[in-house]
Amino acid sequence: MTNIQLSRKIHGNVTSQGGREALGCLASCAALPRCLSAVTGKPRLTANDLGLFFEPQRLGRRRATPLNVAALVCEPVATGHGAARRDGGDLMNERSGERLTSTDAQGEFPFDVLDYVPHLIAAICQFRDAALNAELRDLGLNVARYRVLGVLSRFGLTSMGELANFTAIDRTTLTRTADHLVVEGYVARHHDDPRDRRHVRLELTEPGVAAYRRGLSVVLRSNADLMRDIADADTRTAARVLQVMVSNLAPNATARDSIVLFQRGDQA
């Protein structure tokens, strides 16, 4: 079985977006079967085995240590011709110049800091969202629904395009989220042009305001736990670094400013 076939075989068993993205990375790893077998000690791996790597929160009481997916991707055993070490200790493909391993030259982190930071950000998002979804569920909310309510609470009447920019939620998920909030009575739709139902703006209802306030207390408590034992100066430094990262990744200036400045263009 090829790496791509293995990825496709287990793709349906990994439900999170982060897990699917990790699978895509793993499928490109030239030594995937050897690498995973070396970690698990098994000559063959099932979809459930791989599910442990990507969604540790589904283990329940089994307190297994989550496998470092990035380490799997970045530290395969090199095979074949054309591999050579560079001064920094990383294994390089002589023909393509592609980096095959990732190491931290200073020895502080398990792999290169450029790989380690995104790995940590992905883990923070996954762990925080999983915990928040569990708490918000009792309020009839989840993270996406709460975020939409938060935008509407701040800006009032808001178009779907603006919501997409302020939340960075993909349009399919955003439409489904808005539909649910309308059905629950938390959000009202307004059609600016009766002849074109695509031009829609959303607004909080009174029940929506109450739901947002209940969710806010949960989120504030979660945020306090996330930043526990971190000095305010360090928190602000982290925020400034993340602002630059968002600016580097945003597809356009409007998307960048919506996240970094969290304001409409006419407020800039």
Tell me the residue type at 134: A
- pLDDT (average), residues 49-71: 42
- pLDDT (average), residues 136-149: 96
What's the confidence (pLDDT) of residue 133? 97
Q: Encode pLDDT of 80-123 as tens digits.
A: 444 444 444 455 555 556 655 778 889 999 988 999 999 999 99
**Domain spans of the chain, in order of start:** 3-111, 126-267
pTM: 0.65
pLDDT tops 80 at residue 264: yes
What's the confidence (pLDDT) of residue 47? 52
Q: Encode pLDDT of 213-224 as tens digits.
A: 999 999 999 999
pLDDT tops 50 at residue 68: no
The 8 Å CB, 24+ separation contacts for 166-171 are 166/258, 166/259, 166/262, 168/255, 168/259, 169/144
Q: Which residue has the higher pLDDT, 187 or 84?
A: 187
Range with the lowest mean pLDDT among 44-53, 78-87, 94-103, 136-145?
78-87
- pLDDT (average), residues 236-250: 97
CATH of domain 126-267: 1.10.10.10
What's the confidence (pLDDT) of residue 48? 55
Give me the chain's average pLDDT, please: 75
Q: Give the C-alpha distances (Å, rounded to integers) separating 176 from 28, 32, 131, 142, 223.
A: 32, 36, 21, 12, 26
